[in-house]
Protein backbone atom coordinates (compact mmCIF):
# COMPACT_ATOMS: atom_id res chain seq x y z
CA UNK A 1 0.00 0.00 0.00
CA UNK A 2 1.37 3.37 -1.00
CA UNK A 3 1.78 5.93 1.77
CA UNK A 4 3.91 8.64 0.23
CA UNK A 5 5.16 10.41 -2.87
CA UNK A 6 8.74 11.49 -3.53
CA UNK A 7 8.89 14.04 -6.33
CA UNK A 8 11.47 15.74 -8.46
CA UNK A 9 10.85 19.50 -8.79
CA UNK A 10 12.33 20.91 -12.00
CA UNK A 11 10.21 20.19 -15.10
CA UNK A 12 7.59 18.46 -12.97
CA UNK A 13 6.36 21.01 -10.41
CA UNK A 14 7.81 23.99 -12.25
CA UNK A 15 9.46 24.60 -15.60
CA UNK A 16 12.29 27.11 -16.10
CA UNK A 17 12.51 28.50 -19.64
CA UNK A 18 16.28 28.32 -19.98
CA UNK A 19 16.33 29.80 -23.48
CA UNK A 20 14.64 32.99 -22.28
CA UNK A 21 16.75 33.14 -19.13
CA UNK A 22 19.91 32.75 -21.17
CA UNK A 23 18.89 35.31 -23.80
CA UNK A 24 18.18 37.99 -21.20
CA UNK A 25 21.27 37.11 -19.14
CA UNK A 26 23.51 37.67 -22.15
CA UNK A 27 21.81 40.98 -22.92
CA UNK A 28 22.09 42.20 -19.33
CA UNK A 29 25.44 40.80 -18.21
CA UNK A 30 27.27 39.22 -21.14
CA UNK A 31 27.16 35.91 -19.25
CA UNK A 32 25.58 32.72 -20.57
CA UNK A 33 23.84 30.26 -18.25
CA UNK A 34 24.68 27.40 -20.61
CA UNK A 35 27.92 26.38 -18.94
CA UNK A 36 30.95 25.12 -20.86
CA UNK A 37 31.71 21.47 -20.10
CA UNK A 38 34.55 22.17 -17.66
CA UNK A 39 32.42 24.54 -15.56
CA UNK A 40 29.40 22.26 -15.83
CA UNK A 41 31.53 19.45 -14.38
CA UNK A 42 32.32 21.60 -11.34
CA UNK A 43 28.66 22.54 -10.99
CA UNK A 44 27.54 18.92 -11.11
CA UNK A 45 30.34 17.47 -9.00
CA UNK A 46 30.78 20.23 -6.43
CA UNK A 47 27.92 22.75 -6.29
CA UNK A 48 25.05 20.26 -6.43
CA UNK A 49 26.45 18.40 -3.42
CA UNK A 50 27.23 21.52 -1.40
CA UNK A 51 31.01 21.56 -1.75
CA UNK A 52 31.04 24.86 -3.66
CA UNK A 53 28.60 27.75 -3.99
CA UNK A 54 26.86 29.19 -7.02
CA UNK A 55 28.94 32.32 -6.54
CA UNK A 56 32.04 30.28 -7.43
CA UNK A 57 30.35 29.18 -10.66
CA UNK A 58 29.40 32.72 -11.61
CA UNK A 59 32.95 33.89 -10.89
CA UNK A 60 34.21 31.30 -13.37
CA UNK A 61 31.61 32.31 -15.96
CA UNK A 62 32.53 35.98 -15.54
CA UNK A 63 36.22 35.22 -15.94
CA UNK A 64 35.46 33.25 -19.10
CA UNK A 65 32.93 35.54 -20.80
CA UNK A 66 32.96 39.06 -19.36
CA UNK A 67 35.81 39.84 -16.93
CA UNK A 68 35.23 42.79 -14.65
CA UNK A 69 31.48 42.36 -14.17
CA UNK A 70 30.45 42.36 -10.50
CA UNK A 71 29.54 38.84 -9.38
CA UNK A 72 26.83 39.96 -6.96
CA UNK A 73 25.15 42.00 -9.69
CA UNK A 74 25.24 39.01 -12.04
CA UNK A 75 23.69 36.78 -9.37
CA UNK A 76 20.96 39.36 -8.76
CA UNK A 77 20.11 39.53 -12.48
CA UNK A 78 20.11 35.74 -12.71
CA UNK A 79 17.84 35.44 -9.67
CA UNK A 80 15.33 37.90 -11.12
CA UNK A 81 15.30 36.10 -14.49
CA UNK A 82 15.04 32.62 -12.96
CA UNK A 83 12.06 33.76 -10.91
CA UNK A 84 10.46 35.54 -13.88
CA UNK A 85 10.84 32.68 -16.35
CA UNK A 86 10.17 29.70 -14.08
CA UNK A 87 6.51 28.74 -14.46
CA UNK A 88 4.75 26.75 -11.74
CA UNK A 89 2.68 23.79 -12.96
CA UNK A 90 -0.60 24.71 -11.29
CA UNK A 91 -2.27 21.45 -12.30
CA UNK A 92 0.43 19.54 -10.45
CA UNK A 93 0.12 21.82 -7.42
CA UNK A 94 -3.63 21.16 -7.28
CA UNK A 95 -3.06 17.42 -7.66
CA UNK A 96 -0.52 17.32 -4.84
CA UNK A 97 -2.96 19.11 -2.55
CA UNK A 98 -5.66 16.61 -3.51
CA UNK A 99 -3.34 13.69 -2.74
CA UNK A 100 -2.38 15.24 0.60
CA UNK A 101 -6.06 15.51 1.47
CA UNK A 102 -6.35 11.79 0.74
CA UNK A 103 -3.69 11.16 3.39
CA UNK A 104 -0.57 10.71 1.28
CA UNK A 105 2.65 12.26 2.53
CA UNK A 106 4.49 14.48 0.03
CA UNK A 107 8.28 14.77 -0.14
CA UNK A 108 10.64 16.38 -2.65
CA UNK A 109 14.04 15.15 -3.85
CA UNK A 110 15.84 17.66 -6.04
CA UNK A 111 19.26 18.26 -7.54
CA UNK A 112 19.52 21.98 -6.90
CA UNK A 113 21.52 24.88 -5.49
CA UNK A 114 21.13 27.64 -2.92
CA UNK A 115 19.90 30.28 -5.39
CA UNK A 116 17.14 28.09 -6.77
CA UNK A 117 16.14 27.06 -3.26
CA UNK A 118 15.71 30.67 -2.17
CA UNK A 119 13.56 31.57 -5.17
CA UNK A 120 11.41 28.46 -4.95
CA UNK A 121 10.90 29.15 -1.25
CA UNK A 122 9.63 32.61 -2.18
CA UNK A 123 7.20 30.97 -4.62
CA UNK A 124 5.88 28.65 -1.92
CA UNK A 125 7.01 25.45 -3.66
CA UNK A 126 8.37 23.80 -0.53
CA UNK A 127 5.18 24.40 1.43
CA UNK A 128 3.65 21.58 -0.64
CA UNK A 129 5.90 19.03 1.05
CA UNK A 130 6.42 17.49 4.47
CA UNK A 131 10.14 17.84 3.82
CA UNK A 132 12.37 18.59 0.86
CA UNK A 133 15.66 16.76 0.30
CA UNK A 134 17.88 19.11 -1.67
CA UNK A 135 21.14 17.78 -3.07
CA UNK A 136 23.35 20.65 -1.94
CA UNK A 137 22.03 20.27 1.63
CA UNK A 138 22.14 16.47 1.94
CA UNK A 139 25.50 16.11 0.16
CA UNK A 140 24.21 13.67 -2.44
CA UNK A 141 22.57 14.00 -5.84
CA UNK A 142 20.41 11.82 -8.03
CA UNK A 143 20.94 9.26 -9.47
CA UNK A 144 23.36 8.33 -6.65
CA UNK A 145 21.79 5.83 -4.25
CA UNK A 146 22.78 7.97 -1.28
CA UNK A 147 20.24 10.65 -2.25
CA UNK A 148 17.31 8.22 -2.20
CA UNK A 149 18.58 6.44 0.90
CA UNK A 150 18.73 9.73 2.79
CA UNK A 151 14.97 10.05 2.30
CA UNK A 152 14.34 6.44 3.36
CA UNK A 153 16.51 6.68 6.46
CA UNK A 154 15.04 10.01 7.49
CA UNK A 155 11.37 9.07 7.10
CA UNK A 156 11.46 5.36 8.02
CA UNK A 157 9.26 4.76 4.97
CA UNK A 158 10.08 1.89 2.63
CA UNK A 159 10.72 2.29 -1.07
CA UNK A 160 7.79 -0.02 -1.79
CA UNK A 161 5.44 2.35 0.04
CA UNK A 162 6.58 5.31 -2.03
CA UNK A 163 5.77 6.50 -5.54
CA UNK A 164 8.73 8.31 -7.07
CA UNK A 165 8.23 10.84 -9.88
CA UNK A 166 10.96 12.30 -12.09
CA UNK A 167 11.37 13.48 -15.68
CA UNK A 168 14.89 12.00 -15.92
CA UNK A 169 15.18 8.37 -17.01
CA UNK A 170 18.47 7.76 -15.16
CA UNK A 171 16.90 8.94 -11.92
CA UNK A 172 13.89 6.71 -12.53
CA UNK A 173 16.09 3.65 -13.09
CA UNK A 174 18.07 4.35 -9.92
CA UNK A 175 14.84 4.59 -7.92
CA UNK A 176 13.50 1.35 -9.39
CA UNK A 177 16.67 -0.50 -8.37
CA UNK A 178 15.98 0.51 -4.77
CA UNK A 179 12.39 -0.72 -4.96
CA UNK A 180 10.47 2.50 -5.51
CA UNK A 181 7.33 2.52 -7.64
CA UNK A 182 8.85 4.93 -10.15
CA UNK A 183 6.94 6.91 -12.77
CA UNK A 184 8.57 8.94 -15.52
CA UNK A 185 6.99 12.38 -15.80
CA UNK A 186 6.08 13.35 -19.37
CA UNK A 187 3.10 15.59 -18.74
CA UNK A 188 0.29 16.09 -16.26
CA UNK A 189 -2.32 14.04 -18.13
CA UNK A 190 -0.12 10.95 -18.37
CA UNK A 191 0.81 11.20 -14.69
CA UNK A 192 -2.86 11.45 -13.75
CA UNK A 193 -3.58 8.32 -15.82
CA UNK A 194 -0.78 6.46 -14.03
CA UNK A 195 -2.35 7.30 -10.68
CA UNK A 196 -5.82 6.24 -11.85
CA UNK A 197 -4.41 2.91 -13.05
CA UNK A 198 -2.94 2.34 -9.58
CA UNK A 199 -6.26 3.14 -7.90
CA UNK A 200 -4.90 6.27 -6.23
CA UNK A 201 -7.30 8.66 -7.98
So where are the chain's domains?
Answer: 4-15+88-197, 18-84
pTM for this one? Answer: 0.96
- Give DSSP secondary structure letters for 35-80: --HHHHHHIIIIITTTSS-HHHHHHHHHHHH-TT--HHHHHHHHHH
Q: For residue 13, what are the contacts with CB-CB under 8 A and spacing of at least 6?
A: 7, 88, 89, 92, 93, 96, 108, 125, 128
Which DSSP category does 113 fall into? -
Could you read off the pLDDT of 151-181 as tens digits, one per residue? Answer: 999 999 999 999 999 999 999 999 999 999 9
**Confidence class for position 33, pLDDT limits 50, 70, 90:** very high
Domain 4-15+88-197 in CATH: superfamily? Answer: HAD superfamily/HAD-like (3.40.50.1000)
pLDDT tens figures, 86-122? 999 999 999 999 999 999 999 999 999 999 999 999 9
Amino acid sequence: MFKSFLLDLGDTIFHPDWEKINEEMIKSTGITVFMPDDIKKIYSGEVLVGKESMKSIFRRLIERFNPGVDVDEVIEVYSVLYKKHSKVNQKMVSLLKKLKNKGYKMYALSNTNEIHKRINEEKGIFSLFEKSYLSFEIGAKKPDEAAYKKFLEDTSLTAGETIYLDDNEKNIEAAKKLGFEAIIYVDYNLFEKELIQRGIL
